[in-house]
Amino acid sequence: MTDERDGGESQSVAQSWRRWEPMFQSFSWPLALRMAAVGEVGSGQRVLDVGCGIGDPTLQVAVLVGPHGHVLGLDIVEGKIAIARERAATLGLGHAEFRVEDVTAVALPEAGFDVVLGRWSLIYLDDVAGVLDRLRAALVPGGRIAITAWAPPEASPCFSVPLEAIARVRRLPPLGADQPGLFHLSTDGALARALVGAGFQTVGQERVVLSQLAQDGAEFWRLMTDPGAPLAPFIEDLAPAQVGAVAADVAARLERYRAGDVLRVPAQAQLAWGRA
């Protein structure tokens, strides 16, 4: 997990997430539903969401636990937490709490939660095993955990198409499944093995199919490369002319995913779950 709390960068990241909030929600809702299902989220429960960003799936889960439950979302980016709080207030979800905290260091109450969720957050950590140990201790006996990663890039044109285009103009950094980053723990079974290694029981894993909506290739490119977006780090050192050429290449290659007057670009996520 990268720390983006530096003032200017944090603000630009927050603005980007605010801009693309509706489209990201339309993309990620199937995963939020499956996480809640395998996590057995129910009325009155206490839920911890690690790396909550602007409040997903925290807010969806807050609706499920109802006013007699409590949901705590943690993220290291102040701007994202501010947006999450705005969204919670607008929806009247007073039982959803958000804090700027690093999961590797925050004090978590022992047996303080019924469910722990972590969507695309643990993949950026160096010590996944250590954090999973901490999260297991924060769960009540028999409590549930649901965590996610991305599937390998070849399963997700949402990533493979722009990455292949970027690779034509610059050398890409390593994108291995065994190191922190976008595709960490992306291989089938990797998340489940991490949970088993941390002592979780009745562990399972599956892939969840997603679809990124965009009006056209230019909108898709901005969505994926704005500050804080998944592909932003890969174009940081490119000249404007190179960025423009890559964006045009991506737009042309995405036309195969056109459905009427929009693009629906496929992606897949890994989802694993277990019981403390």
Express as a percent the part of the chain with pLDDT over 90: 90
Q: Which residues of 235-271 are buried (b: 16+ CB within 10 A; e: fewer)?
A: beeeeeeebeebbebbbebbeebeeeeebebebbbbb
Mean pLDDT of 105-118: 97
10 pLDDT band, cuts 50/70/90, is: low
Give every CB contact of residue 245 below 8 A, 6+ residues apart in sequence: 169
pLDDT at residue number 99: 97
Q: 13 with 4: CB under 8 angstroms?
A: yes
Instruction: State the DSSP string of 180-222.
Output: SSTTTT-STTHHHHHHHHTT-EEEEEEEEEEEEEESSHHHHHH
The helix, strand and coil proportions of the chain, stated in percent and rounded to the nearest 5, come to: 45, 25, 35
Inform me whether the pLDDT recorded for 6 exceeds 60.
Answer: no
What is the average pLDDT score of the chain?
Answer: 94
123 pLDDT band, cuts 50/70/90, is: very high
Question: What 8-state DSSP symbol labels residue 18?
Answer: H
9 pLDDT band, cuts 50/70/90, is: low
The CA-to-CA distance between both ends of the chain, in Å, stands at 24
What is each CA distance from 133 to 51, 195, 198, in whole angstroms? 17, 9, 6
Superfamily for the 7-151+176-211+268-275 domain:
Vaccinia Virus protein VP39 (3.40.50.150)
96 pLDDT band, cuts 50/70/90, is: very high
Helices (H) and strands (E) in the chain, counts: 8, 8
Name the phi and psi angles at 147, rounded to 5.
Answer: -130, 155
pLDDT digit string (tens) for 55-78? 999 999 999 999 999 999 999 999
Inform me whether the pLDDT recorded for 158 exceeds 60.
Answer: yes
